[in-house]
Structures are given as structure tokens and as C-alpha cells.
Chain A
């Protein structure tokens, strides 16, 4: 699998209309290998025919429940799974996550939210596999960042090297490009979970990073501050 969009998805839900909607949205987002099933039996068949790389499972199914199905399929292979259910009780969510599911989303849901969750599960589960494929350079306006070599290429042909801390920060921001990353998440990415006391250093490293990434570090175009919360690496020229 070179990208997450090459992942094979198995969607199990008894509602045919919802299945069609999910397929359409996932295909629209770029996922090309999608199988669907409306019952536990059909899901087992699909799983046997071709092992998926991510399962999206409903819980209330006509011939069983999603929890049992998950257990049965997980016994065969360690495939990441996301429960998508109308059952919103804490007990159900906790039970599902306790079984080992990677995520639990209750209906009704925003399709964008589902797509983001699927993306995150795949990135997390297949990080090693995906990292073997050389990641595309990070384009920030006229500057280009090679995250493998930790080098920023300037338009005039010069290059600037990133320090290890700057690289770790930029990786975290790039993974969540377009989304806010809190101070805490950035600190944890660089200094680990026990980061207390490092918050002040974060501002210094971000300033250095801006000096390398931005044409005008005083008025950053890409690495934006979200006051009181964290930072955000914008997707394009706008926030």
C-alpha cells in the first residue's frame, strides 16, 4: 500500500441506502477498493474472499451483532475497525472500544468526520508500511520541505537545514495539515508525554521554524498561531 487510498475497505451495514451513500463518499474521497455487506454472513464471506485493511461495522445487523462479528473477524486477522452505529450509549461505545476497535462513531454523523477518522486510523495502523514510500515534499508557497532529509529548499536555490526538534514539530503539523494542533500535542510529539515545563521552549522553536518556512516570518502565511490553543499549518495560501 503506497497511500491510504489504496487500502481495501469493508463496510457492513444493514441499510442499503446508507451503504450506497458511504461508498459514494469514500470513493469521492479517493478510496478505490470498497466492499460492502448487509449481514454478518455476507461480511464473513467478503472477509474470506479478500482480507480488508479497514472494517467499518454497524452493530445492529439482521443475523447477529457487530460486536460478535468484530470478534470473529479479528480472530482471523488483526484488521483495524471502526464501529458506525446508532447506539450512542456510553456502555456500547466503551464495550466496542474495549473489544479493540480503533474508533466508534455514532449516527448521524458528518461525512467529513467519518472521512477524517478513516484517514487517521489508516495512517496510524499502516504508518510503517506507508513510510516506506517516500512522502511527497511539503510545498509551502515557493518553499519546499523535504521531511526525509529535513531540508527546506528556498526559491533561489539555497537550502536550510531543520533541527531535530523543528523536524518533529513540522512532521506533527504536516500530519494534521489544515487542522489545529494544540500546544500540548506539539510538546508531546517533541518531548514525549511528560512535557510539562517545555511550553515556553515551544514558542522559540516555532519562531525558528517560521524563519525557515515563511517568506515573512513576522506575518506568517502557513504556520499560523491559533491564540491560546496551538498552531495550524494551513493547506493553501489561506487559513
Chain B
């Protein structure tokens, strides 16, 4: 939905921008037109009032002010005259022949408002009479506008509010239109979300976004087909591994049982019993390998459900370590469990069987990959919001190739076989944690597993 909010905001801002741009453009165009008009109007050097005010009484009668020549005063005008109180011409300049030489009050009222024989005229009442000055014909249009004072005032008051109202209306319209468009696109966006989450997409293909929806439907169908194919392949692989491991288990149980029998047979010579011990040990390794192979394929392909339970870390790790102490492998090591008080009280939300497998694999690894008996320390502590399990030994440590393979993003071609440790990584990851493998100081291997509590 954030996309839509952004989209609508962008539309509205664009609309505001456009309105402001139009407003400024309008003002600019009006200004420009006015300027052009000013240029087109006949160039008059002096205004009619200036000329009227400049008139002076002389001995010969009225005359233009002496500071300019009559031509300079009349530049841009056609003619001028002064009427006395009864409408007779007292003085004139360039008066066309077609004009009367005397005017009634009615004539004066008409031309003062409009034209005199099509000449646009301006009138000024002066002490010496009525000064009338005419412009060339067709050089000016004259209009009269009438309005009541209330209307004019109310126009002044209402105009800004009306302009603001129109602007808001424009914005609201823009918001509504963009919201409608966004709503139509929302279906497509929901389809994209579903697609991103690997779900099936079946969008309606009507409306203006129909073509887009159709393309999404096609993409979704293709992705679904590919996912199904991958799922079938993963399933088949997991089933195959599970099937093989199942078929191997019964023969292995027999070999293991017979080896145990031979190992305990006091009538056999020591050398034969030692060989039986070897067979049993190898069988146990094979059993662990089968379990790891089965588990890793299930974890890899999401076929291993996590059965989380809230468990207190203290009793859980005591129980798990005690189980290991009871196993034959424990004869080859000294194991110490150290739990810090906060860690002991931590409640972990874990799959108990998988966590047992994780610890078993780490302990098995310490015992099996060290020729001499080792001291193993299992340590638990809290680190902020996380629970930290460390399994460290004083053996020969992880070979460099093993560490490189564990830290590699992708398995290398000739990577060492580290199935058990890989399972540790997978189990930690399945619980929302991670496993870090490194060397212990001064010697030995050290694995730290970080788990979120109540993950």
C-alpha cells in the first residue's frame, strides 16, 4: 500500500504544480499581452490631462503651453478644442472639417462617453472651458462598465476565496482520479505480492490493468509449473534417500547385533573380538551417516517439520549430555558441562530431538576425529537476546579444508565430507540461529551455536 500512497501523493503534487504553473503562465501571458497592447497603441507623449493643464490664456486667446511646440503637445492625437459654457468652440487645433462648430449639452454628453464622429475623445473640465481632445479614428475602443458598489466589493472579497476553492476542487478531483487508478492497480500489486511469496496468482483480466494482470497470470502459471517440478524432484530425492536408508537399516541392525555378540563372546580370541569391535564401531558410524543423510535431505528440502516445545535449557542440556555420557563413545573423552545461571534458566523453543542430534553430532565429531581421548567442554551462556551453546575440545582441531568448506557459501567440488557438521548448521538455521565453527585456544575445535530464546 505504500506504493499507492506514494503514487497518489505524486499525482496530487503534480496537480498542484500544474495549477501553479498555469496560474503563473496566465499572469505572464496577460502581462505580455498588456505590454504588446501598450506597444501597439498610438504613441502619445503627453496625456490629455497634461495637455489640458498646460493650456494658457494669451492676448490672442487660448494657446498651448510655451514650453513645447503645438506639434510636440499633440503628438499621437488628431485634434483638440475648447468649448465654452454654451457649447461654442472657443479654441481648436487641427479640427476636421466634418465636425460641428457648436455642440448642445446632449452632443457633449454623447461624445464624452463614446465617440465624436468616430473619433475617440477625452474631455477635461478646466477653468477656461471644456477641453476636448480627439484621437485618430479606430485607434481606441471605448467601453462603459456599470456595477453596484456592493457587487464590486463582494467580487473583491470573494475572488480569492473562489480561486482557492477552485484550486482545492481541482486537487480533490485529482486525488479522486488517482485513487481510482491506484485502486485498479492494487489488484495487480496484490498479485505481485502473492507471486513474490510463491503463491498461485489468478487475477481478473478486465479493466484498464487487464493486460498487466494477464501477463502476471501467465508468469504465475510458469513459476508454479517450475515450482511443482522442483518440488516433485526434491520429493523424489528425499523419498529415495529415505527408502534407501530404510532398506539399509535392517541388514545393518543384524551386522551390529552380530558384532556385539562376537565382541562379548569370551570364547573368541582377543584379536577376533577386536575385529568385532571394529565392525561394531564402523556400523555405528554407518548408522550415524544414514541418519545424517536422511535428516540433511529432509532439512534441505523442507520435509522435516520442526516440533518446537518450550524447554528450560538447564535440565535439557544436562539430560542430553547425560545421554551422551551413557554412550560407548563417552569412554573416549572427558566431558564437562558448564551452564551459566542466566542460560540455565533460559526457556528455549526448540525441537528436542533435533537439538539432541545437533549436540550429539558435535560431541561425536570431537571424539571420532581425534586419535587420543579428548576433554570436551559444553558451555552455555546468554549473550543479549540470544542463547549461546559452545562445544570445545582440546584435540587436533578442525582441518583447514573443513573450516573452509563449512564457511563456504556453496559446496565446492572436492569439499571434505562434513555431513554431521552440515546437519549442525542446518538444525541451527532451522531454529532461526546459526553455528560458527573455529579453532579452540590453545588447541582443539570449537563450535558456537547461537539460538534465539523462544524463537
Say if A and B assemble together: yes
Looking at A13-21, A70-78, A117-125, A133-141, the stretch in contact with chain B turns out to be A13-21
Q: Mark B335-363, 1 if CB is under 8 A from A, else 0.
A: 01111000000000000010000000000
Minimum C-beta distance from B187 to chain A (A): 40
Instruction: Please indicate the chain A residues that have their CB under 8 angstroms from the CB of B283 in the complex.
Output: 108
Q: How far is the CA of A184 from the CA of B312 in the complex (A)?
A: 11
Determine, out of A30-38, A48-56, A81-89, A143-151, the stretch whose residues face the partner at the interface.
A81-89
A21-B257 CB under 8 A given contacts A90-B305, A107-B249: yes
Q: How far is the CB of B253 from chain A (nearest CB, A)?
A: 4
Would you call A230 an interface residue if the criterion is a C-beta within 8 Å of the partner chain's C-beta atoms?
yes
**Contact (A21, B261) CB under 8 Å given A87-B246, A227-B337:** yes
Number of contact residues on A: which range applies? 20 to 34
Q: Which residue of B lies closest to A116 (CB)?
A: B326
Chain A residues with CB under 8 Å of B261's CB are 21, 24-25, 111
Bound form: Cα–Cα A179–B305 in Å = 32
A109 CB, min distance to chain B CBs, angstroms: 6
How far, in whole Å, are A185 and B326 apart by their CA atoms in the complex?
A: 15
Complex Cα distance A88/B287, Å?
12
Report B317-331 CB contacts with A as 1/0, cut-off 8 Å.
011011001101000
Contact B326 A109 (CB under 8 A): no
Shortest CB–CB separation between residue A50 and chain B, in angstroms? 26
CB-CB under 8 A from B257, the residues of chain A are 18, 21-22, 25, 111
Is B256 interfacial (CB 8 A cutoff)?
yes
Residue of B252, B318, B325, B337 touching A184 (CB-CB under 8 A): B318
Within 8 Å by CB of B245, from A21, A22, A88, A180, lies A88
Interface assignment of B195: CB less than 8 Å from any CB of chain A: no
| Chain B residue with the shortest CB-CB distance to A227 | B336
Among B263-318, those with CB < 8 Å from A are 264, 283-284, 286-287, 291, 294, 304-305, 307, 314-315, 318
What A residues does B319 contact at CB under 8 A?
182, 184-185
- B254 in the interface (beta carbon within 8 A): yes
User: Does B242 lie at the interface of the complex (its beta carbon under 8 Å from any beta carbon of A)?
Assistant: yes
Distance of A14 Cα from B315 Cα, bound (Å): 40
Quick one: which of A168-186 are within 8 Å of B by CB?
Answer: 179-185
From B254, B304, B305, B336, give the contact of A18 (CB < 8 A): B254
Q: Indicate if B258 sits at the interface (CB-CB under 8 A).
A: yes
Q: Which residues of A contact B307 (CB under 8 A)?
A: 90
* Cross-chain contact A108 with B249 (CB below 8 angstroms): yes
A219 interfacial contact with B, CB 8 Å: no
Query: Which of B294, B305, B321, B328 sits near A88, CB closer than 8 Å?
Result: B294
- Contact check, B318 vs A229: say whether CB atoms are below 8 A apart: yes
Beta-carbon contact of A107 and B252 below 8 Å: yes
Most chain B CB atoms below 10 A, which of A28, A181, A226, A229? A229
Q: Which residues of B contact A25 (CB under 8 A)?
A: 257, 260-261
State in angstroms the CA–CA spacing of A200 and B21 once bound together.
Answer: 82
Chain A residues closer than 8 Å to B245, beta-carbon distance: 88
Given A87-B246, A88-B246, A226-B325, check contact A110 B256 (CB 8 Å). Answer: yes
Chain B residues, Cβ within 8 Å of A165: none
User: Are A86 and B353 within 8 A (Cβ)?
Assistant: no
Q: Which residue of A lies closest to B246 (CB)?
A: A86
Known: A21-B261, A86-B246, A229-B325. Is A108-B253 also a contact (CB below 8 A)?
yes
- CB of B3 closer than 8 Å to a CB of A: no
Q: Nearest CB to that of A111 among chain B residues?
A: B260
Q: Which of B253, B315, B338 contacts A228 (CB 8 A)?
A: B338
Chain B interface residue bracket vs A:
35 or more
B254 touches which one: A21, A87, A88, A228 (CB < 8 A)?
Answer: A21
Is B97's CB within 8 Å of the partner chain A?
A: no
Taking a contact as CB atoms under 8 Å apart, the answer to whether B250 and A184 are in contact is: no
Identify B260's interface contact among A106, A112, A183, A229, CB under 8 A: A112
Chain B residues, CB < 8 A from A228: 318, 321, 336-339
CA distance A161 to B261 in the complex (A): 43
Distance in Å: Cβ of A201 to nearest Cβ of chain B: 16
Name B307's closest neighbour in chain A (CB-CB): A90
Digitize B40-80: 1 where CB-to-A-CB distance is under 8 Å, 0 elsewhere: 00000000000000000000000000000000000000000
Partner of B249, one of A21, A106, A110, A111: A106
Contact indicator per residue, chain A 60-101, by CB within 8 Å of chain B (1) or not (0): 000000000000000000000000001111100000000000
Cβ 8 A contact of B315, one of A21, A182, A227 = A182
Closest to B321 in A: A229
**Which chain B residues border A110 with CB–CB below 8 Å?**
256, 260, 284, 328
Which residues of chain A are near B291, meaning CB under 8 Å? 88
Residues of B within 8 A of A109 (CB): 253, 256
A228 to B335, CA, bound (A): 10
- CB pair A229–B256 under 8 Å, yes or no, is no
Q: What A residues does B314 contact at CB under 8 A?
A: 184
Write the nearest CB–CB distance from B52 to chain A, whole angstroms.
Answer: 113
Q: Give the complex CA separation of A182 and B321 in angstroms.
A: 10
Which partner residue on chain B sits nearest A87 by CB separation? B246
Using CB atoms and an 8 Å cutoff, list the residues of chain A in contact with chain B.
15, 17-18, 21-22, 24-25, 28, 86-90, 106-112, 179-185, 226-230
14 A-B residue pairs with Cβ-Cβ distance under 8 Å, sorted by A, are A15-B254, A86-B250, A90-B307, A108-B252, A108-B253, A108-B287, A180-B322, A182-B318, A182-B319, A184-B314, A185-B319, A226-B322, A228-B339, A229-B325
The 10 A-B pairs of least Cβ separation, nearest first, read A228-B337, A86-B249, A184-B315, A108-B253, A107-B253, A108-B252, A107-B249, A180-B322, A21-B257, A182-B318
A-B contacts besides A107-B250, A111-B261, A228-B318, 9 pairs, CB < 8 Å: A18-B253, A18-B257, A87-B246, A108-B250, A108-B253, A109-B256, A110-B260, A184-B319, A228-B337
